[in-house]
Amino acid sequence: MVLAFSFRLHRRDGEARLGEIETPHGRVRTPAFMPIGTQATVKGMYAEQVRATGADIVLANTYHLMLRPGPERIAALGGLHRFMNWPHPILTDSGGFQVMSLAALRKIGDGGVTFRSHLDGTMYELAPERAIEIQLLLGADIVMQLDECVKLPATEGELARGVRLSLAWAERCRRAFEHAPPGRALFGIVQGGDDEKLRQESARALVAMGFDGYAVGGLAVGEPQDVMLRIVETTAPLLPEDRPRYLMGVGTPDDLVEAVGRGMDMFDCVLPTRNGRHGLAFTRFGPINLKNARHADDPRPLDADSMCPAARDYSRAYLHHLVKANEMLGAMLLTAVNLHYYQDLMAGMRAAIQEGTFAAFREKTREGWERGDIPAL
């Protein structure tokens, strides 16, 4: 039986929302954090481990997978879920953001984007229709429209052009998606940079078209947190109550709590994985840099009370050694620590919304971060 996509909003606490998404590959509890599996793997993690951190869904990158190994190949192998041994929900981005940040010689036209692969120089075209086709070949449960993500700072003219182009592509993606297998979902993406009026225009037009969910894109590109939150505050109320809301590329633990408090449901970010590979651990008591020499003789684990084996069963001295020695196990353990912490944070928020204590949870969580790490004696 193929489960249809659906979203149920269970409860609200202020603006914060507790919900549940159903997909053909299972359930996603929201607010949800999606670990990033760029090249069909969450770097340094076994799929079972990702699941064990509490993740319901992962994100995979269309740009990377269209270049290597190729969507037709993955489809012939039974789809991305089987390819990467992750039988749970998958969201794929549309490739647009990575084309802007990674590819060379990119050229944007009304028809789509042309670019040169950063791997081998091959020229590719990515039209809205092809972006949908690729994501359906991969077998994504949640498919994102192709959009143009304009870099900040930008002029109003540049931002307006991005909004208009993204809306035109949204409509073309919607039509292309009509051939999708049952149960899959297509999300539209609100653009408009830091311009509230353009954001409103973009959101209203997308809602008028009608999507299974709505993303807020073009943030987490270097702007201050207050700008990001202001745009979320402007945009969220314009999105339908009964559809999931996805804040793309966000963020720090604090960003997540603040954005959930403003009505967002889904998130993805490279921070827990990328920073883990570079020696930084996210914990209840704020970030801890394991490269720091103060850990060299510290027999304590990162968090003795954590349910995460990597945070509980390894000394800081050992983690410090692994990071300094550039050992894979250091990256593996700290990625696990961080993904576990992010999922714990989401689970904490979900429980608090359920109990109507989100404000108190936010306060208590902040207190932990502000207390900070206590050095060894």
Q: Which is nearer to a copy of itself, 120 or 226 (CB)?
A: 120
Q: Which is nearer to a copy of itself, 42 or 185 (CB)?
A: 42
Q: Is the peptide bond before 162 cis (omega within 30 degrees of 0)?
A: no
With contacts defined by CB under 8 A, name the span among 43-51, 203-211, 215-223, 260-268 that binds a copy of itself: 43-51
The site map against a copy of itself for 323-342 (x = CB under 8 A) is -xx-xxx-xx----------
317 belongs to the binding site for a copy of itself (CB under 8 A): yes
Tell me the residue ranges of DSSP E strands in the chain: 6-13, 16-23, 26-30, 32-34, 58-60, 90-92, 104-109, 112-116, 123-126, 142-144, 185-190, 213-216, 245-247, 266-268, 280-283, 286-289
Residue 313 DSSP SS3: coil
**Residue 32 CA to chain centroid, in angstroms?**
9
315 belongs to the binding site for a copy of itself (CB under 8 A): yes
40 belongs to the binding site for a copy of itself (CB under 8 A): yes
Of 83, 187, 282, 361, which one interacts with a copy of itself (CB under 8 A)?
83
Shortest Cβ 50–a copy of itself spacing (Å): 11
The whole-angstrom separation of Cα 122 and Cα 232 is: 38
In the chain, the amino acid numbered 316 is R
Shortest Cβ 311–a copy of itself spacing (Å): 13
The whole-angstrom separation of Cα 93 and Cα 147 is: 10
Phi and psi torsions of 64, nearest 5°: -65, -45
- Catalytic residue chosen out of the listed positions 56, 195, 255, 268: 268
Active-site residue 268, yes or no?
yes
With contacts defined by CB under 8 A, name the span among 1-9, 82-90, 97-105, 215-223 that binds a copy of itself: 82-90
The tokens of 129 are what?
């229709």
296 belongs to the binding site for a copy of itself (CB under 8 A): yes
Cα dihedral sign, 330-336-341-346:
positive
- Catalytic residue chosen out of the listed positions 93, 298, 303, 373: 93
314 belongs to the binding site for a copy of itself (CB under 8 A): yes
Reference 138, options 95, 99, 103, 175; nearest CA is: 95
Of 85, 101, 155, 354, which one interacts with a copy of itself (CB under 8 A)?
85
In the chain, the amino acid numbered 160 is A
Query: Applying CB under 8 A, which residues contact a copy of itself?
Result: 39-41, 43-46, 68-69, 73, 76-78, 83-85, 296-297, 299, 313-315, 317-318, 320-322, 324-325, 327-329, 331-332
